Each structure stands twice: as C-alpha cells, then as structure tokens.
Chains A and B, each alone.
Chain A
Amino acid sequence: MNIIEQQLWDYIDGNLNETQRKNIEEKIETDVSVKLQYEELLSLNIAFSEMELDEPSMSFTRNVMENVALQPAPVSLKTKVDSRIIFSISAFFVLSILAILGYILYNTTFSMPDFSKYFAININVDKILTPTSIYIFFGIDLVLGLIFMDYIFRKRLVNKA
C-alpha cells in the first residue's frame, strides 16, 4: 500500500492530527488523482460498513440456553468470597496473636540487661562517613526515587487508559 493511500485511510478513520488532516485535505483539493483515490476509498468504506452479518440457525438461542441450563448458575466473584468469612479468619488470627503475646508478657519478669558486656564496639564514624559514601548513598536514593516515580506514573497511565 502506498503512503498516500494509508494517509487517506487514516483520514477516513479520523486517526490524523490537525496538521496531518489539513495536509491531506489540501492534497485532495489540489491533486485530481488523490481526489479520485479518496472517493474510491470512501465508497469502499461505505460498502464495508454496510456489510451484512450472518444469521445463525433459528434454534441457536434455544440450543445455547438448553446447554446453559445444565451449567451451575454463575455468581459474581465478589459474592463468591464472602467478606465476612475473610474478616472472621483475620480476627481469629489477630486475637490468637494478642492472646499469646499477653500470656508471654504476663509470665515475664523484666530486668534491664548490662549492654556494656556485649557491645564494646569501637566505631570510627569519620572513616565510614566519607564524601564518596555519602554520594553513593544519595545516588542509590535517587535511583530508587526515580524507579518509584516511574512506577507511579505508569500506574496512572494504565488507570487513565
């Protein structure tokens, strides 16, 4: 298919932007061969949209409904999973965890341990916090931020579509 024919189909389908539309309209007005081609495609377009659909047999709907009657009635997925069941299960687990925690806390005697025995670490912060490490830290943060923003924008585009 040549380019002008493709443009003409796009024009007929309404898929061109304002500039492209004006360009093709100008071509149709000035070029006789383009005008003839446009008229031919327009006629074809009308013929295509007037094509007739085929009719199935008279008993089609009846046959479908007879088969459908043998199937279990469809139920919306929302009603299939009753939300009360989900809430009951989650409530059971939350209460169980709280009960166990309560029991443990009730049976525990608190005393503060001597941390100095275990943590005798001598950290030189100046060695770790060099300008390079700070740049690396911010660089990673920036990349993660960009990935997150890309994810948000993609999600918005999908939702709009």
Chain B
Amino acid sequence: MKQELTDLELIQNVLTGETGQYALLVKRHQRFVFTLALRFAKNREDAEEIAQDCFIKAYKALGTFKHTAKFSTWLYTITYTTAMTFLRKKRLDTSSISDEATFLQLENHTSAFNANVYERQNSHAFLHEAITQLTPDDAAIITMFYKAEQSLEEIGTALNMEPNTIKVKLHRARQRLKEKLQYLLKDEVKELL
C-alpha cells in the first residue's frame, strides 16, 4: 500500500515542478480552511471565495514557507488575514471578542430560529447553530482548537496573538458556547450531550 505523502513532501514536490500535487494539499485542507472562512464570512459563497483566495495566495507564497512551523498553521494564518481583508472590503461588522454589544446583538438573533430549532434532532446541528452565533474570533478559536489539532501557541501564531490571550479567549468562547447551547436546548442540553 502506497504511503500518503506528508504536507512537507507535497510542498517539496510542488516546488520542484510537480505543481499538480498542490491539488492533494488543497483536498487535504479545504474542509478546514472553508470552515474557518465560514466562521468569519457567515455565508457559503463568501467563505468559498475566501478559501479559494487563501489557497491561491498560499500557492504563490509557497517558496517562502519556512519549515519551522506546521503547514496548516501557516495556511490558517493566511486564511485569517484573507478573511479579515475580505471582511474589511465588504465592510462587515467584525467586532472583537471583547465587544459585548456584538455579543448581545447576536444573542437577539437566536429568536429568529428559536421556533423551529426544537424540531432538529441532530446534536451536531445544534452545536453548529450555536457556533454560528459566536463572534468570528470565538468561533475561529474553538474550531482551530478542537478540529485543527492546533496548540494555543499555534493558534496564537495564526491569529497574531499571545498564547495566554488565546487561552483566555478559548475559556470565554467555550463558556459562551455553553450558554448558547443551554439557551437553544433549554433543559435538554445534558441529555443531548
């Protein structure tokens, strides 16, 4: 059985002229990059545009990639900056985690789907719904920590923040996510989890 090439081996191959192998890197990371982009953009079309832009930027800058960090961490840094640039262009509200006004504004948003939320039986759907109500920073940190196997230091590198700041933000993000889930599910939260 042929062993799967690592990210670094694929990068090396692309840099030596086998550019087609970049498709393997895209396939490997596209779900996560897209999900991360979706945390910021909130709609699939914009997220897909951000994710594509991110992979093209990464391709162009592949020669500058230093092997001191994981490729994924480097890619998520590009995703974050691309998403931020995209949002700035679109003049969307991307308030930081500390902006309580945004948090409250998002809280009100829950009532719109509260009527049919109980019809859903899938716990993943509830969790997904709760994540979409978090601020982009919260959602990105939660996603990177749990789904990208990134350490606090690596998340800090990707989001250009200190690891301690990320730790505090992660704690607060989990707390908010818990509150959102409790709000969505009322007393069912324990049974569902």
Contacts and interface: CB of A to CB of B under 8 A. Distances in A.
Interface residues of A, number: 36
Interface string B169-181: 0011011011001
Nearest to B125: A52
B96 interface: no
B183 interface: no
Interface in B57-116: 59-64
A61 B48 CA distance: 11
A73 interface: yes
A85 interface: no
A131 interface: no
A49 B123 CA distance: 13
Most B CB contacts (10 A, CB to CB) among A15, A47, A67, A79 go to A47
Interface residues of B, number: 47
B27 interface: yes
Contact of B124 (A9, A51, A74): A51
A75 B55 contact: no
Contact of B60 (A40, A51, A71): A71
B172 A1 contact: yes
Contact of B38 (A6, A54, A68): A54
Given A60-B51, A61-B27, A71 B56 contact: yes
Given A54-B31, A60-B52, A44 B17 contact: no
Contacts of A101: none
A80 B15 CA distance: 11
Interface in B115-151: 123-124, 127-128, 131, 142-143, 146-147
B14 A56 contact: no
Most A CB contacts (10 A, CB to CB) among B48, B51, B172, B193 go to B193
B56 A68 contact: yes
A51 B171 contact: no
Interface of A: 1, 5-6, 9, 15, 40, 43-44, 46-57, 60-61, 63-65, 67-69, 71, 73-77, 79-80
8 contacts: A43-B190, A50-B124, A52-B124, A60-B30, A74-B19, A74-B59, A74-B60, A76-B15
Interface of B: 14-15, 17, 19-20, 22-23, 26-27, 30-32, 34-35, 38, 44, 47-48, 51-52, 55-56, 59-64, 123-124, 127-128, 131, 142-143, 146-147, 167, 171-172, 174-175, 177-178, 181, 190, 193
